[in-house]
Amino acid sequence: MYQEERLLKILEYINKHHAMSVMDICTLLNVSRDTARRDIVKLVQEGVVIRTHGGVALPQLQKEIASYQERLIDETDSKRKIGKLAAKLIQDRETVILDVSTTVQSVAEQISAKNITAITHSIDIVGILSGKEDLQVYVLGGYLHAKNRLLFGPSVIDKLRELRADKAFIGASAIRADGLYFPYEDDVSVKKEMARRSDQVIVVADFTKFTSKSVYRLDFDFVDILITDQEVPIEIREVLDNKNITIIQCEEKDKFEEENRDES
């Protein structure tokens, strides 16, 4: 079961019972205490529940939970489609770099290639890949950023400089006509090094990123492929076309496959 699905079940339970213990989560979802605690941390970080001794409880503003549930359902579907398509680009025995991103996390969840080496500094992606067979995980070490679930610091870039990958999958906080944008300056430095150390750079981002804003820019020159779920705004598409960046749109691919099935 994906984490988003577990979170929805936890929220449904809390809406009915107003509180939930770690043991309740383990029993309801048939997961370990460590998994239950990670799910609690995620919900507390999102501000939709409050932590209690031994579990979580309903906050005073129930509408926060309702809106989060809707957002989780919408985003999960889009990101899963993108992740499924992106994961198909990974071939057996390749080395891939996986950025810290909820959409890249969806890529990690759906990897089916065998004998690959995955390089990442995402704590969540390490957890996902540790349960998969036929792959190796190389963790880029550094200081732990508990809130953002990642390892950071100069050692991350130093280690990247020693590596070589077939593909890098990165996310984005925002996509504008002049490039990708991120909230922290260190994000851009890490992603630049990921791009330099990879033969192909694949950006995975849902349509909401085309209307979002952020601070620090990464030029499109580092990008080879963009995978998204809806049509790219015309002003951005023109720039990508001029830079020979391949755009893959999930809905277009789904429609193409349906038409081929109908013809056969």
pLDDT in tens, 58-107: 765 444 545 545 555 556 788 899 999 999 999 999 999 999 988 999 99
pLDDT value at position 72? 55
Both 20 and 137 in one domain: the answer is no
Provide mean pLDDT across the span 247-251: 88
Nearest to 99 by CA among 78, 125, 137: 125
Asked if residue 135 belongs to a domain, the reply is yes
Percent helix, strand, coil in the chain, to 5, is: 50, 25, 30
Domain residue limits at 10: 3-60
Task: Give the model's confidence band at 19: pLDDT under 50 very low, under 70 low, under 90 confident, else very high.
Answer: confident
pLDDT value at position 213? 86
Q: Tell whether the model's pLDDT for residue 5 goes beyond 80.
A: yes
Helix (H, G, I), strand (E, B) or coil at 13: helix
Question: 254: domain CATH number?
Answer: 3.40.50.1360
* Mean pLDDT score across all residues of the chain: 86
Both 181 and 215 in one domain: the answer is yes
pLDDT value at position 116? 96
Asked if residue 70 belongs to a domain, the reply is no
Q: Tell whether the model's pLDDT for residue 256 goes beyond 50.
A: no
Which residues 6+ apart lie within 8 Å of 97 measured at CB? 118, 119, 120, 160, 163, 165, 167, 168, 169, 194, 197, 198
Question: 42: domain CATH number?
Answer: 1.10.10.10
Give CA–CA dist 233/207, Å, rounded: 9
Both 122 and 45 in one domain: the answer is no
Total count of domains within the chain: 2
Asked if residue 90 belongs to a domain, the reply is yes
Q: Tell whether the model's pLDDT for residue 21 goes beyond 60.
A: yes
Which residues 6+ apart lie within 8 Å of 57 measured at CB? 14, 18, 19, 20, 49, 50
Both 161 and 33 in one domain: the answer is no
The more confidently predicted of residues 55 and 217 is 217
Give one DSSP letter per residue of 126-187, joined into a string: HHHHTT-SSEEEEE---EEETTTTEEESHHHHHHHTT--EEEEEE--SEEETTEEEESSHHH
- Give the rounded percent of residues in the chain with a pLDDT score beyond 90: 52
pLDDT value at position 62? 47
- Tens of pLDDT, residue by residue over 204-240, are 999 989 988 888 999 999 999 999 999 999 999 999 9
Both 47 and 176 in one domain: the answer is no
- Tens of pLDDT, residue by residue over 140-197, are 988 888 777 889 889 999 999 999 999 999 999 899 999 999 988 888 999 999 999 9
Give CA–CA dist 115/189, Å, rounded: 29
Give CA–CA dist 140/132, Å, rounded: 19
Asked if residue 71 belongs to a domain, the reply is no
pLDDT value at position 185? 87
The tokens describing 144, both together, are 């732990």
pLDDT value at position 149? 82
Both 125 and 216 in one domain: the answer is yes
Helix (H, G, I), strand (E, B) or coil at 255: helix
The dihedral built from the CA positions of residue 144, 133, 107 and 42, taken in this order, carries a sign that is negative
